[in-house]
A = this chain, B = another copy of it.
Amino acid sequence: MTASRTARERVRAELTREITDIARRQLATEGAGGLSLRAVAREMGMVSSAIYRYFPSRDDLLTTLIIDGYNALGEAVERAEATCPRAAHRQRWLTACHAVRDWAVAHPHEYALIYGSPVPGYQAPQDTIAARVRDVTVLGRIIADAWRAGALRTPETEAPPELGPDSANFRALMPEVPDSVIWLALTAWTTLYGWVNFEVFGQFNNAIEDRGTAFGHAMGLMGDTMGLAQ
């Protein structure tokens, strides 16, 4: 059923794909704000108004790119982590971290789109939430597995009881894990993306050169903090 619909539908799907491809290339060179429907149309040899047959607005095109970005990042993390032995929790953590960083460095503008400052005037629709949790799902599973295997330590500081309801929001990601460990994991998660933000957004320029090594060391420190045993 996927092979042949009418010729019209096939060319429509093809053109839609071509638009997103060109838009993604433009995004990579110009950034989100520089994404221009007219430029996409120009590159396709179409007139600008024709694009609106395929995407009702610039924001809709952006939304597609955002969802694609979430999926690309999530898939990269999933694939990388899948190569690790299940019991090697620390290796899984470090591998997943590096996968996030590698993808972000390779696709800085797409990363900025999904983890950077929100595009002004653009409100991400609900369609994105399904794709946007793929990466954190992997990270959560690593923590949950490590906890079950007794490969995590309990932090000395208990989580404040007021955070109980918020802790519950993450229990789906990390079942059976106690609150104190959840918040430590969230802190490590924050460190991961904080670092990648800093690196991708240029905050490390003229400050840190050997960024791969530094990143690995920092993620290792957070692994130590969680007591993540090999």
Q: Which residues of B contact A184 (CB under 8 A)?
A: 221
A125 in contact (CB, < 8 A): no
- Chain A at the B interface: mostly helix, strand, loop or mixed? helix
How many chain copies?
2
In chain A, positions 183-197 with a C-beta closer than 8 Å to chain B are: 183-184, 186-187, 190-195, 197
Q: Are A31 and B157 in contact (CB under 8 A)?
A: no
Q: Which of these binds chain B: A49-57, A76-84, A90-98, A158-166? A: A158-166
Q: Are B183 and A187 in contact (CB under 8 A)?
A: no
| Contact status of A183 and B119, CB under 8 A, knowing A163-B210, A193-B197 | no
A34 in contact (CB, < 8 A): yes
A-B contact pairs, 23 of them (CB 8 A): A30-B121, A31-B121, A115-B201, A117-B117, A117-B201, A155-B224, A157-B220, A157-B221, A157-B224, A159-B217, A160-B217, A165-B210, A166-B207, A166-B209, A170-B207, A183-B217, A183-B221, A184-B221, A186-B214, A190-B191, A191-B191, A194-B194, A225-B225
